[in-house]
Structure 1
Amino acid sequence: MNQFDTNLLWLIPALPFAGFLLNGTLGRKLPRAAVTAIALLFTLAPALIVANLWIVMKAAGAPLSLSVTGGPWIAVSGFTVPFAFTVDHLTLIMLGVVTGVGFLIHLYSAGYMAHEDGYWRFFAYLNLFMFFMLVLVLSANFLLLFVGWEGVGLASYLLIGFYFKKDSAANAGKKAFIVNRIGDFGFLLAMFLIIVHFGTLNFADVFAKVPSVAAPFTAIALLLFVGAAGKSAQIPLYIWLPDAMEGPTPVSALIHAATMVTAGVYMMARCHAIIDLSPTAMAVIACLGAATALMAATIGLVQHDIKRVLAYSTVSQLGYMVLACGVGAYSAGIFHLMTHAFFKALLFLSAGSVIHSLSGEQDMRVMGGLRTKIPVTFWCMTAGVFAIAGMPLLSGFFSKDEILYQAYISPSPVGKLVWLVGVITALLTSFYMFRLWFKTFFGAPRFDEHALGGHGHEDLAPVHAHKDKHATMVAEHEPSHGHGGVHESPLVMTLPLMILAVLSVIGGIVGVPTAFGGHNEFEHFLDPVFAGKVEALAGSGGTAITLSTIATLCFVLGLFAAYLFYFKNPDRASQLAAKVKPLYSLLDHKYWVDEIYGAVIVTPLLMFSRLFLGGLVEGAAVQGSAAGLAGGARGLGWLVRRIQSGNIRSYAGWLAFGAALFLVFTLVISYSLHF
C-alpha cells in the first residue's frame, strides 16, 4: 500500500463527532451496551485510519505531507481562510497519541463508569472531546486550530463538571473554563498580529513569509505562550489543572495525558519558526517552564489525595516540555509529550483502579498493603512510577534526560540555569512518586476492609475522621462501585493498564541517543518539521553520559529517601513536617496562590461587578430605564383617562385648549420666518 485517500482525513475527527451525536441524542434510550459500542467503535476507527497513515508513510520511504481542503471558509477583501486539514510528521505523532491513548481511556471507562448515572452523557462528552482535539491537531491554519482549541475547553468544562450536582465539581469546571479563556485572549491577540503583518492565518503561508517580514516576533511569541500557558497549565495559569481532579478519573487521564494539556506544547512546536526569532521570548518561556516544573513538584511532595499528586506531577512534567521549547529543543519536548502520554495515562488509570478497589477512597493515608490484593494494578502502576521517576532504560529516562541534555548544551543564556532547576525537579519527582508508591501499596493496610462494601461513600466517614481540613475529602465525585472488600478491577480496565505499562517501559527506545548506542530515530523522524535545527548531535557523548549519570543519581536518591520516610520508618515524615511546620504549611497551602488570586483579582472583580455593573448599570441604567418607561406609560395613561372623561363640556374645553395651542404655535412659526 503506497497511497492514501486524503478524503479519509475528514473521517478522523468526523467519526468521534458522529459518536457524540448518536449518544448525545439517542443514548438516553439506548442500552448501555449500545452506548459503549458506539463510543468505542467511533474512536477505534480513527485510530485505524491513523495506523494506515503510518503504514503508507513507511511504505513510501519519504517524508509525509498530506493536505485536504474543503474550500474557503472565510473570504473577505482578499483575506481567505480555507477549511483545511494537513498532516506532517508532527501531526502524525500527535494523531497516534490522541487516537491510541484516547481509545484505551474509552475502553477503560466502559468498566470504570459501568454503574454510573449519566453513562450515555459521559461517553457523548468523551467523544466530543476527541473530536475537538483531532480538529486542533489536523488544522492547517490558526483559525481552525483555535476552533479545536476552544472546543476542548468546552468539552473539558462538561467533563470536569460531569458530577454537576456537586458544587466542587461544578466550580472546578467553571474555573478551568474561565482560566483558559484568559490564555485564549492572548492567543487571539497573537492571531490578530499575525493577520496584520502576514495577511494570512495559513500555517504554510505564515511560516514561509517569516524570514522576509518585519513583524513584532517577541510580542507574537509571548502572546502565543500566554495561550499555551492556559492549555498546558504553566505559571501563572496552572491553577485550574489540580482542581480538574473533581471529574471522573478517566477524564483526568484523558485531559492530563493525551489531549488538552499537550495542546499548548504542540502549538508552540508548530509555531517554532516564529518563536525561534525571539531570544527574549525563548528565555522567558524556558524560565517559566522550569519554574512551573519546580513549583508543582514541591507542592506534590505533601499532597495526600492520590489523584492530586498525579495532577501536580502533570503540571511539573508539562514544565519540562515547555522548558524544551524555550531552549529550542522541540523534538525533545514532543518526545517527552509522547512518553508522558503513556506513563501518565497509566498512572491515572491505575489510580482509578486503586480508587475502584477501595470503593471511592482517594486518600493515601488510609491505603497501604494493596500490592497483594490488586496485583495487576500494582505491577502496572509500578511500571508507570519507575518510568516517570527516570529509571534508566525506561521511557521517561530517555525523554526527560534528552530535555535536560539539550538545556545544558543550549546556547541560551538561561540554559545552564534551567538545567539545574530541571535536575532538582527530577530528584523531587522521584521522591514524591515513590512516596505515592510506598504509601499506596506497602506497609500495613490502613483501611477497614469490612467498610468497603457497596454501600456508597457515607460508610467510609469513620475512616476519615483524622483528616485535616486541607486534605481532599473522600471521592465525593467518584462512582461507588458495588463490590464487597478490596478487589481487582475487571479485565476491561486492566487490559488498557497492561498495554500502557508495556509502552511506558519500551516507549523510549525510539529516542535512544547516539551516546547510548542508538540513533535517536524520534528526532530524525521530526527533521522534516524542524528543518535546520540541530539537537541531539550537538555536544559530546561524554557530556551526555555525565548528565545522564547525574539524572540517574537523582532517581536513586529520590527512591532511597522515600524508602526511608515512607517504608522503613513511616513516622519520620510526620516528625520532619512538625520540625519545618512553616515550610510544610506553605507547600500544603500550595504557596497560597489561589488565596492570593482570590484577594487580588477575584474579590475586586466581584465587588466591581456588584457595585458598578450590578448597582449602576443594572440598577440605575437597566432597571431605572425600565422603571422610567413604566412610569411614563402610567402617566400617559392617567392623562388619557382624564381626557376621555365622557363629559361633553370637558371635550369642548379640551378642543378649545388644543385650538389655542395650535394658534399660538402657528403665530410663533410665522413670526420666526418673517424676521
Structure 2
Amino acid sequence: MDMGLSIGFFALFALFGSIDYATVFSLAPFMNETAITIIGLLLLTGAMAKSAQIPLHSWLPGSMEVKRFSVNKNLPTPVSALIHAATLVTAGLYLLVRSSPVLEYSSTALLVITLVGASTAFFAATCGLVQNDLKRIIAFSTISQLGYMVMAVGLSQYNVALMHVVNHAFFKALLFLGAGAVIHSFSDQQDVRKMGGLIQFLPFTYTAMLVGSLSLLATPWLTGFYSKDLIIELAYAQYSFSGTYAFILGSLTAGLTAFYSFRLISLVFLTVPNGTKSAYLHSHEASTAVIIPLFILALFSIFFGYVFSDLFVGVGSDFFGNAIFTHPRNISIIEAEFSLPLIIKLLPAFLSLIGASLAVFIYHSKNGSQFIIGLTDTALGKKVYTFLNGKYLFDVVYNNYLIAGGLNIGYLISKLLDRGVIELIGPYGLSNTLTNTGVNFSKLDTGVITTYSLYITIGLLSLIFLVFTPILLDNSIIIIKEEMRLVIIYLAALVLVSSNSFLNKKEN
C-alpha cells in the first residue's frame, strides 16, 4: 500500500532528518533497531502492493483486460508482458534491494520478508494448478516467481534476487507473447480446456513457449536455473527457521511450477483437439513482427543465465560494488555454493521433473484423466478445487467485508461529515451566519428617532468609558491592552456614525 510506503518515508525523515540515500545509509548502523524494523516493515508494505505479495496480490491476475471489453483484442497481451515481466511488478522488489543498507540492520524485517516471499510463492503456485484462463495461469506464475525474489531479499541475497528479476523478465515475456500469439491465432479463445492439438498448427509458438516453460521451471543450464535453484540452495544454507521454511516451500513450489507449466503446454498444444472446427481452420502462425521478438526472447531464456551468472552472483564478483550492502553475518553464498549435500542441490530439479512428468501423464493418459475426474467428483475434491480456483477466496473476503465495509464507511463520512458537519461549519454555515447577521442588523434600522438616540447614547457612553478608564481606575486593578481598546473604540465609533447616518437619512 502506498500509504504504508508514505508513512515509511515520514518515519525515515523523522529518524534520520533526511531521505537522501547517502545520509540514511550511513546513519543506519547507529540507529535504534526497533525503529529500523518499523521502517523496514513499512517499506515492505509498499513493496508487497507493487510486487503482488500476499495478501496484496489480487490486482495482478486481474490486471489483464478482459477481451470482451477491449476494442482491439490483441492489445492487452503485449501490455501484460511488460507489466508482468519488466516494469510495474519489479518496482517493489527494487525498492527492497535499494534499501538493503537499512534492512540489513533489522533481523525481524528480514524474517518477515522471507516468510512473506516463501508463502507467496507457494500460494500462487497452488492457485496456478487449477486456473483455466491461459494468461491467468502465467499471471499466477509471475506472483510465484516474485515470491522467490522477495524470499531472496529476506535471505540477504540481493544480487541473486536481482538476477532472478532479469532472468524472469526474458522467459515471462516469452510466455506472455507466446500466449498472445496462441489467443490471436485461435479465434481469441483463452480457455485452455477449449484448445488442444495446436502443435500441428503453431509449431514455432509451441517451441517458444516450451523453451519459456523449461526456463521457468529451472531446467538445468537454462536461464532460470542459475537464479531460481540458487535461491532455494541459499535458503537451506541459512540453517535457521526462516531458511528452512523458505527451502521447504521453495522446493515444493518448484514441483508445482513444473506441473502447471506442463499442464498448460499439454492442454494447449499436445492433447486431442477440444476447440471448434472454425477455430482450427483459421489457426495460423504469428506474423514476422511477433516471431522475431519470440525468437530473441527464446535465445535469452536459454543462454543469458549461463553467460551472465558469474557477473551477477559469482563468488567474489564486484559487479554491484557498493550499490548493495550485505552484513557479514548474512553472507552464505560460499556455504550454498560449495558445502551443501548433492541431494539438496538436486532436490528442486527432481521435484520439477516429477511435477512435469505427472502433468504429462495425467493429461495424456486415460488413467490420469480418470484420476483427475475421480478427485473432483468427491466432496473434498470439489471443495479443494473451489478453494484453489477461487484463489483462497481472498477476493470474496475483500469484496464482502473490506470493500463493502469501506463503502459503508465512505457513505457515512460523506453523509455526516462532508455534507453535514463540514458544510455546517464551512461554506453553508458561514454564508448562512453572515446572511442572518446582516438581516438582524438591518432590523436595527427602525425609523424611530428615540431608538437612534438610544444608539447614540450607548455609543457615547462606551466611548467615554473606554477613553477615561485608565484615569478613573488604577492600572493594577484593570489592564486593558491597547489593541483591545482600539478595537472597542472603533466599534463604538462605528455605532455612533451609523446612528447619525440613520438619523440624518430619516430626517431628510
TM-score (norm 2): 0.80
The match for 1:241 is: 60
Distance 1:268 1:642, change over 3 A: closer
Given the alignment of the two structures, is residue 506 of structure 1 paired with residue 295 of structure 2, yes or no? no
Letter in 2 for 1:421: L
Return the alpha-carbon distance in structure 2 between the equivalents of residues 614 and 302 of structure 1.
Answer: 44
Cα pair 1:253 1:345 within 8 Å, conserved? yes
Return the alpha-carbon distance in structure 1 between the equivalents of residues 152 and 29 of structure 2.
Answer: 23
Cα pair 2:237 2:336 within 8 Å, conserved? yes
How do residues 18-167 of structure 1 correspond to structure 2 at under 5 angstroms?
Answer: none
The match for 1:175 is: none
Residues 32-84 of structure 1 show CA distances to partners (whole Å, capped at 9, x for unaligned) of xxxxxxxxxxxxxxxxxxxxxxxxxxxxxxxxxxxxxxxxxxxxxxxxxxxxx
Given the alignment of the two structures, is residue 186 of structure 1 paired with residue 14 of structure 2, yes or no? no
Residues 440-463 of structure 1 show CA distances to partners (whole Å, capped at 9, x for unaligned) of 1112222224268xxxxxxxxxxx
Instruction: Provide the secondary structure at the position in 2 that maps to 1:362.
Output: coil
Given the alignment of the two structures, is residue 399 of structure 1 paired with residue 198 of structure 2, yes or no? no
The match for 1:270 is: 98
Letter in 1 for 2:363: Y
The match for 2:272 is: 444
Distance 1:324 1:544, change over 3 A: farther
The match for 1:387 is: 215
Deviation of residue 549 (structure 1)? 1.4
The match for 2:481 is: none
The match for 1:303 is: 131
Return the alpha-carbon distance in structure 2 between the equivalents of residues 194 and 657 of structure 1.
Answer: 71
Distance 1:225 1:616, change over 3 A: closer
Given the alignment of the two structures, is residue 312 of structure 1 paired with residue 111 of structure 2, yes or no? no
The match for 1:195 is: 13
Residues 225-250 of structure 1 show CA distances to partners (whole Å, capped at 9, x for unaligned) of 11111111112211111111227111
Cα pair 1:513 1:536 within 8 Å, conserved? no
Given the alignment of the two structures, is residue 666 of structure 1 paired with residue 467 of structure 2, yes or no? no
Unaligned runs of at least 5 residues, structure 1 = 1-182, 453-483, 644-650
The match for 1:584 is: 385
Return the alpha-carbon distance in structure 1 between the equivalents of residues 269 and 290 of structure 2.
Answer: 19
Letter in 1 for 2:26: A
Deviation of residue 540 (structure 1)? 5.9
Return the alpha-carbon distance in structure 2 between the equivalents of residues 486 and 657 of structure 1.
Answer: 102
The match for 1:593 is: 394
Deviation of residue 564 (structure 1)? 2.1
Q: Which has the larger radius of gyration?
A: 2
Instruction: Provide the secondary structure at the position in 1 that maps to 2:156.
Output: coil
Which residue of the other structure, out of 559, 562, 573, is the alignment partner of 2:372?
A: 573
Distance 1:611 1:443, change over 3 A: same
Return the alpha-carbon distance in structure 2 between the equivalents of residues 584 and 600 of structure 1.
Answer: 23
Deviation of residue 511 (structure 1)? 5.8
Which residue of the other structure, out of 541, 546, 562, is the alignment partner of 2:343?
A: 546
Deviation of residue 363 (structure 1)? 1.0
Letter in 1 for 2:377: A
Given the alignment of the two structures, is residue 321 of structure 1 paired with residue 149 of structure 2, yes or no? yes
Distance 1:537 1:349, change over 3 A: same
Distance 1:641 1:662, change over 3 A: closer
Unaligned runs of at least 5 residues, structure 2 = 67-75, 473-508
Which residue of the other structure, out of 271, 288, 294, is the alignment partner of 1:497?
A: 294
Deviation of residue 493 (structure 1)? 1.1
Cα pair 2:186 2:279 within 8 Å, conserved? no
Deviation of residue 668 (structure 1)? 6.5
Which residue of the other structure, out of 24, 27, 31, is the alignment partner of 1:206?
A: 24
Instruction: Provide the secondary structure at the position in 1 that maps to 2:271.
Output: coil
Cα pair 2:159 2:313 within 8 Å, conserved? no
The match for 2:491 is: none
Which residue of the other structure, out of 317, 320, 328, is the alignment partner of 1:526?
A: 320
How do residues 354-393 of structure 1 correspond to structure 2 at under 5 angstroms?
Answer: 354-393=182-221
Residues 323-355 of structure 1 show CA distances to partners (whole Å, capped at 9, x for unaligned) of 111111112111211110111111111111111
Deviation of residue 627 (structure 1)? 5.7
Letter in 2 for 1:546: I
Instruction: Provide the secondary structure at the position in 2 that maps to 1:538.
Output: helix
Cα pair 1:511 1:522 within 8 Å, conserved? no
Distance 1:524 1:549, change over 3 A: farther
How do residues 613-624 of structure 1 correspond to structure 2 at under 5 angstroms?
Answer: 613-619=414-420, 621-622=422-423
Give the percent of matched residue pairs that are identical in Structure 1 and Structure 2.
36
How do residues 215-294 of structure 1 correspond to structure 2 at under 5 angstroms?
Answer: 216-246=35-65, 248-294=76-122
Cα pair 1:511 1:523 within 8 Å, conserved? no
Tell which deviates more after alignment, 435-444 or 205-214.
205-214
Distance 1:660 1:617, change over 3 A: farther
Deviation of residue 631 (structure 1)? 6.2
Cα pair 1:227 1:264 within 8 Å, conserved? yes
Return the alpha-carbon distance in structure 1 between the equivalents of residues 37 and 372 of structure 2.
Answer: 46
Deviation of residue 542 (structure 1)? 5.9
Instruction: Provide the secondary structure at the position in 2 that maps to 1:313.
Output: helix
Given the alignment of the two structures, is residue 486 of structure 1 paired with residue 283 of structure 2, yes or no? yes
Cα pair 2:50 2:90 within 8 Å, conserved? yes
Tell which deviates more after alignment, 318-327 or 613-622.
613-622
Return the alpha-carbon distance in structure 1 between the equivalents of residues 105 and 441 of structure 2.
Answer: 74
Return the alpha-carbon distance in structure 2 between the equivalents of residues 270 and 628 of structure 1.
Answer: 51
Return the alpha-carbon distance in structure 1 between the equivalents of residues 178 and 58 of structure 2.
Answer: 24
Return the alpha-carbon distance in structure 2 between the equivalents of residues 318 and 385 of structure 1.
Answer: 16
Letter in 1 for 2:293: P
Deviation of residue 658 (structure 1)? 5.3
Given the alignment of the two structures, is residue 609 of structure 1 paired with residue 410 of structure 2, yes or no? yes
Distance 1:661 1:389, change over 3 A: farther
What root-mean-square deviation, in Å, do the aligned CA atoms of Structure 1 and Structure 2 show? Answer: 3.1
Given the alignment of the two structures, is residue 656 of structure 1 paired with residue 452 of structure 2, yes or no? no
Letter in 1 for 2:255: L
Which residue of the other structure, out of 556, 570, 584, is the alignment partner of 2:353?
A: 556
Distance 1:526 1:633, change over 3 A: closer
Return the alpha-carbon distance in structure 2 between the equivalents of residues 522 and 487 of structure 1.
Answer: 49
Tell which deviates more after alignment, 355-364 or 620-629.
620-629
Return the alpha-carbon distance in structure 2 between the equivalents of residues 398 and 238 of structure 1.
Answer: 26
Distance 1:242 1:658, change over 3 A: farther
Deviation of residue 275 (structure 1)? 0.8
Cα pair 1:305 1:363 within 8 Å, conserved? yes
Return the alpha-carbon distance in structure 1 between the equivalents of residues 113 and 186 of structure 2.
Answer: 41
Deviation of residue 613 (structure 1)? 2.3
Distance 1:336 1:539, change over 3 A: closer
Residues 182-211 of structure 1 show CA distances to partners (whole Å, capped at 9, x for unaligned) of x22222222223223333323233223333
Residues 129-183 of structure 1 show CA distances to partners (whole Å, capped at 9, x for unaligned) of xxxxxxxxxxxxxxxxxxxxxxxxxxxxxxxxxxxxxxxxxxxxxxxxxxxxxx2
Cα pair 1:586 1:592 within 8 Å, conserved? yes
Distance 1:223 1:347, change over 3 A: same
Cα pair 2:163 2:313 within 8 Å, conserved? no
Deviation of residue 585 (structure 1)? 1.1
Tell which deviates more after alignment, 188-197 or 435-444.
188-197
Distance 1:301 1:539, change over 3 A: closer
Aligned residues: 451
Return the alpha-carbon distance in structure 1 between the equivalents of residues 108 and 425 of structure 2.
Answer: 52
